[in-house]
Amino acid sequence: MSDPGITAFGAYIPRLRLQRSAILRANAWANGALAAHGRGERSMCNWDEDSVTMAVEAARDALADADRSTVSAVHLASTTLPFTDRQNSGICAEALNLGTDIATLDVTSSLRAGTTGLVNALGAVRAGAPGEVLFIASEHRRSRTGTPQELLYGDGAAALRLGRDGVVARLVAHHTTSVDFVDHYRGQQSEFDYDWEERWVRDEGYLKIVPPAVAEALRGADLEPDAIDRFLLPCSLRRVPDMVAKRAGIRAEAVADVMQQECGDTGAAHAVLMLCRALEEAQPGERILVAGFGQGCDVLVFEATDAIRPLAPRCGVSGALARRTPEENYDRFLTFNGLVDKDFGKRAETDHQTPLSTLYRNRRMLTGFVGGRCDRCGTVQFPKSHYCVNPNCGALDSQSDHEMADTPGTVKTWTADSLTFSIDPPAYFGMVQFEGGGRLMVDFTDVDRETFDIGARVGMQFRVREFDPERGFRKYFWKAVQTD
């Protein structure tokens, strides 16, 4: 039986990129040392994005050319999951229309969750899990204002399909070391991470814990350190990946860029995000070593196969990084992350309670974005109903489920409403005509005000529809995003 490995990959990074210079302008008066991290930009979630929505989008990229019926499990790794007691991976599986005969698992509580989750997901494949396991790592990182972390962090997600058939990168070996070394932590009642002194973290943490774990993984792979072509170690501390590589005997030219200037450190997702980027560029036979640090260390060694060449094109990390909108408004970033108590006026004072029974009964429509197609006349409609909306048909109970999330559309009408409450006013909404039939009034998000107009091409993305802060619930739905 063939070795387990990666069969496909995908990524998602929010379009908004907060310029670090904007953070400095607001905070340098209080802490001039922040200027050391002032170059480049960090990825930034829109107000309606979180770890679940980004996970769904990364998974859609990974599943772009897949038969979804082969996915038997969804594992989601994150330290910023929106629900503490509701399975977040289950929301992803529902949004991806993967059916109910599927295993779901949340992996959390350490920045090493990305690599630990990957080790265990690959273990499930090795143990005989049917079909493929979909592994996703996603992070929406928050920090106190005016801290180095605010500049260094970023938001993003990456997804891997894991299986035995059509493997593009096979797992050669892995090793895990567990050490209760506390470089940072976030208590149960705390809102933000508490970080310890950087030199201690570097010298006693990375430099003493990672190299021995790398050596054990290489021993298991029967490889010398100079056989590694790409060394991936997420770390926002400068020069640490190079120092670890040198101590482990890995060539300096093998050390991968940590994407600090392009998007920032995406926490538990970053090792997987870096792995996806390496796979975009890898040639058959290349050996990739990825390490995840946090209360120990995970090390995985992969080897790219011949199947990596014909892999179908996808957005990936490169495409996600290229789709960017610079953001200079620091107050907007603070508002979207709930770091300021903004008064949105009387129109915001409404009760957003979600009837959970209604949500459950309509979950295929609301979470999966499933409409209907008339078996008699072929008319597509959303939502699905008992009667066909075609006036020349009107058949009763003639509709089959029709998944619409991946169907492109065109803007037929739009309105920018400054009176309707929106966290990011004005509220854009209007009519979208879908290819192959069906039209719907939808919300628009990530709007480019310079180019958005009637006739614009759009795709659907899974987003937060509204928050219920009184009960700690968030309602998800699909919104239209401009694609041209």
Tell me if 302 sits within 8 A of 244, measured CB to CB.
Answer: no
Task: Read off the pLDDT of each residue in 22-42 and give the average, rounded to a whole number.
Answer: 94
pLDDT in tens, 236-260: 999 999 999 999 999 999 999 999 9
Q: What is the pLDDT of residue 456?
A: 97
In a domain, 22, yes or no: yes
Instruction: Place 345 in a pLDDT band, splitting at 50, 70 and 90.
Output: confident
Q: Is the pLDDT of residue 467 over 60?
A: yes
Q: Is the pLDDT of residue 22 over 90?
A: yes
Decide which of 336, 354, 385 is a domain's last residue. Answer: 336
Instruction: Place 343 in a pLDDT band, splitting at 50, 70 and 90.
Output: confident
Instruction: Place 331 in a pLDDT band, splitting at 50, 70 and 90.
Output: very high
In a domain, 400, yes or no: no
Q: Is the pLDDT of residue 163 over 70?
A: yes
Q: Is the pLDDT of residue 91 over 60?
A: yes
Domain of 461, CATH number, reads: 2.40.50
Instruction: Place 1 in a pLDDT band, splitting at 50, 70 and 90.
Output: low
Q: Is the pLDDT of residue 351 over 70?
A: yes
In a domain, 455, yes or no: yes
Looking at the fold, whether 85 and 222 belong to one and the same domain comes out as yes
Q: Is the pLDDT of residue 2 over 90?
A: no
Q: Is the pLDDT of residue 448 over 80?
A: yes
Residue 396 gets which letter from DSSP? B
- The percentage of residues in the chain with a pLDDT greater than 70, rounded to a whole number, is 100
Domain of 180, CATH number, reads: 3.40.47.10
DSSP H stretches of helix in 262-397: 270-281, 316-322, 330-336, 356-361, 363-366
In a domain, 359, yes or no: no
Looking at the fold, whether 170 and 307 belong to one and the same domain comes out as yes
pLDDT in tens, 173-193: 999 999 999 999 999 989 999
Q: What is the pLDDT of residue 312?
A: 78
pLDDT in tens, 435-447: 999 999 999 999 9
Looking at the fold, whether 274 and 174 belong to one and the same domain comes out as yes
Query: How far is 47 from 78, CA to CA, in rounded Å?
Result: 19
Looking at the fold, whether 172 and 304 belong to one and the same domain comes out as yes
Looking at the fold, whether 66 and 157 belong to one and the same domain comes out as yes
Looking at the fold, whether 79 and 219 belong to one and the same domain comes out as yes
Instruction: Report residue 205 CA to chain centroid gap.
Output: 27
Look at strands 457-468 and 409-417 and give their pairing: antiparallel
The secondary structure element, H or E, covering residue 107 is: strand 103-107
In a domain, 349, yes or no: no
Q: Residue 41: CB partners within 8 Å, gap ≥ 6?
A: 17, 18, 19, 20, 261, 262, 263, 264, 324, 326
Q: What is the pLDDT of residue 352?
A: 86
In a domain, 362, yes or no: no
Looking at the fold, whether 55 and 203 belong to one and the same domain comes out as yes
Which long-range contacts link 418-423 to residues 24+ away (Cβ below 8 Å)? 419/347, 420/347, 421/344, 421/345, 421/347, 421/348, 421/350, 423/47, 423/48, 423/335, 423/336, 423/344
Please state, in angstroms and as integers, the Cα–Cα distance from residue 289 to each residue in 159, 352, 422, following that order: 18, 47, 45
Domain span at 468: 407-482
Task: Read off the pLDDT of each residue in 290-302 and give the average, rounded to a whole number.
Answer: 98
Looking at the fold, whether 207 and 292 belong to one and the same domain comes out as yes
Instruction: Place 14 in a pLDDT band, splitting at 50, 70 and 90.
Output: very high
Query: How far is 77 from 153, CA to CA, in rounded Å?
Result: 17
Looking at the fold, whether 36 and 135 belong to one and the same domain comes out as yes
In a domain, 160, yes or no: yes
Looking at the fold, whether 288 and 419 belong to one and the same domain comes out as no
Domain count, the chain: 2
Q: Is the pLDDT of residue 399 over 80?
A: yes
Decide which of 314, 336, 358 is a domain's last residue. Answer: 336
In a domain, 54, yes or no: yes
Looking at the fold, whether 40 and 177 belong to one and the same domain comes out as yes
Query: How far is 254 from 236, CA to CA, in rounded Å?
Result: 18
Instruction: Place 57 in a pLDDT band, splitting at 50, 70 and 90.
Output: very high
Q: What is the pLDDT of residue 455?
A: 97
Looking at the fold, whether 327 and 458 belong to one and the same domain comes out as no
